[in-house]
Amino acid sequence: MKIKKILISQPKPELERSPYFEIAKNFGVEIHFRPFVQVEGIPAKEFRKHRVDILSYTAVIMTSKNAVDHFFRVCNEMRIIVPETMKYFCISETTAYYLQKYIQFRKRKIFFSNHSYADLVDIIRKKHKDDKYILPMSDAPNEEYTSLLDRDGIKYVKAPLYRAVYSDIKDINFGEYDMLVLFSSAGILSLYNSFPEYKQNETVIAAFGEQTAKAVTGAGLKLHVVAPQPNSPSMASAMDLYLRGEYVLSDNPFAEIVKAKTKKPAKPAAPKATAPKIEEKPIVAASKSAPAVAPAPKKAEPKPVAKKVVPVAAPKKAMPVAKKPEIKKPAPKKVAPAPKKKPEAKKPAVKKKAHAATKQKPVVKKSKPAPAKKKPAPNKAKKAGKGKK
């Protein structure tokens, strides 16, 4: 059967790069979007009646984008500041990146699975079982989410933050569409709410999630496409394979993921079997040989003598390496006192010059009285004159 028109029970994506638009171009198919369910938030006054103290819990389990939006909406209405230490466990990578709308994305506190709630519970059970969890959900009970948490003994509390309201889809002519894509069990209930006598005929039905697939088969409808799977982690990739004619639906599509996990713990049993095989061989050899031969191999114990020679040679090579740095350390100490002696030699040199200058001064004074001896010469002339007279 060639598919020409597809109806997707979700609102039209806002991004232009949506994979559904690429499918429409590649296969020449018309894709229409119409949400079967509308989500309404529960006001904070009604949420307080459940007596859930958000700050007393350490982690949150996010099963959809609606859970993310309404969790932070209620926190704002109640004026609760979510601590930075809060951990977030998301059902898919897209839901994990959607948290960037409200918080900073950090790998240490954000964990996600591959569109499988069972995988997400396994991540919680292995490494984060001691945390206390909040499970944002609709007011309708969901046994798939709660039963797995109860089975593993995980501490959690239900937080009804929103409710699903059936949309009015009575104006849709389902006979025009060759393929119908559903994303929740509430979408099937909304379908039968508007069309109680709905008949599938030749319409191809695709379901996302294990709970949605069970709701489709429980309503007596035939299921053709299921996601997520190992080769198709998203609904868009599963639709692409189906339109190419390469999709194969198994009897139990979700059992393959579970089998891959159960085979992993069987590996540690292998090393236990190898240890006893080595120990049994020497025991058998000792029993067959005579008791006199048994003490002979004890002489092979001088082997440790070779071990003593090896450590003796090792420290001898290490000793000269340790002495070299000791010679370099005292070298800077001898250079330091050298500049102290030079300024002391210059100071007394100045004092000696000063004494030399003082000694020369009295020499000049002695030369001055020399002309005084010449003065008595005229006295002798006077005496000579007196004689002449």
Q: In angstroms, rounded to a whole number, what is the distance separating the alpha carbons of residues 71 and 1?
A: 44
- Lowest average pLDDT, out of 17-21, 33-37, 253-257, goes to 253-257
Instruction: Indicate if the pLDDT at residue 351 is higher than 60.
Output: no
Give the pLDDT band (50/70/90) at residue 266: very low
Quick one: pLDDT at residue 318?
Answer: 44
**Of the spans 15-24, 246-255, 326-335, which averages the highest pLDDT?**
15-24
**Contact criterion met (CB below 8 Å) for 6 and 177:** yes
**Contact criterion met (CB below 8 Å) for 227 and 115:** yes
Q: In angstroms, rounded to a whole number, what is the distance separating the alpha carbons of residues 353 and 360?
A: 11
pLDDT in tens, 116-153: 788 899 999 998 999 999 999 988 767 778 888 999 99
Instruction: Indicate if the pLDDT at residue 358 is higher than 70.
Output: no
Q: In angstroms, rounded to a whole number, what is the distance separating the alpha carbons of residues 128 and 154?
A: 9
Token pair for residue 25? 């171009």
Question: Amino acid letter at 36?
Answer: F
pLDDT in tens, 49-74: 999 999 999 999 999 899 999 999 99
CATH topology of domain 5-36+168-265: Rossmann fold (3.40.50)
- CATH level 2 (architecture), domain 40-166: 3-Layer(aba) Sandwich (3.40)
In the β-sheet with 133-138, what is the strand arrangement from edge to edge?
Answer: 37-41, 156-166, 133-138, 59-62, 87-90, 110-112
Quick one: pLDDT at residue 250?
Answer: 75
Give 248-272 as a DSSP string. ---SSTTHHHHHHHHSGGGTTHHHH
pLDDT in tens, 274-325: 444 444 444 343 334 333 434 444 444 444 444 444 444 444 444 444 444 4
Instruction: Indicate if the pLDDT at residue 198 is higher than 60.
Output: yes
Q: In angstroms, rounded to a whole number, what is the distance separating the alpha carbons of residues 265 and 281?
A: 29
Instruction: Indicate if the pLDDT at residue 265 is higher than 80.
Output: no
Mean pLDDT, to the nearest integer, of 8-15?
86
Question: Amino acid letter at 328?
Answer: K
Q: In angstroms, rounded to a whole number, what is the distance separating the alpha carbons of residues 369 and 43?
A: 129
Quick one: pLDDT at residue 28?
Answer: 95
**Contact criterion met (CB below 8 Å) for 215 and 188:** yes
Q: In angstroms, rounded to a whole number, what is the distance separating the alpha carbons of residues 26 and 198?
A: 31
Quick one: pLDDT at residue 314?
Answer: 44
**Contact criterion met (CB below 8 Å) for 205 and 186:** no
Strands 225-227 and 30-33, sheet pairing: unpaired
pLDDT in tens, 205-229: 999 888 889 999 999 999 999 988 8
Quick one: pLDDT at residue 298?
Answer: 47
Q: In angstroms, rounded to a whole number, what is the distance separating the alpha carbons of residues 52 and 6?
A: 42
Mean pLDDT, to the nearest integer, of 39-46?
93
Instruction: Indicate if the pLDDT at residue 360 is higher than 80.
Output: no
SS (H, E, C) 24-42: HHHHCCEEEECCCEEEEEC
Instruction: Indicate if the pLDDT at residue 273 is higher than 90.
Output: no
pTM higher than the cut 0.95: no
Mean pLDDT, to the nearest integer, of 84-89?
94
Give the pLDDT band (50/70/90) at residue 185: confident
Same-fold call for 5-36+168-265 versus 40-166: yes
**Contact criterion met (CB below 8 Å) for 201 and 177:** no
Give 47-85 as a DSSP string. HHTT---GGG-SEEEE-SHHHHHHHHHHHHHTT----TT
Could you tell me what percent of the chain has a pLDDT over 90? 44
Domain residue limits, the chain: 5-36+168-265, 40-166
Quick one: pLDDT at residue 294?
Answer: 41
- Lowest average pLDDT, out of 134-138, 172-176, 249-253, goes to 249-253
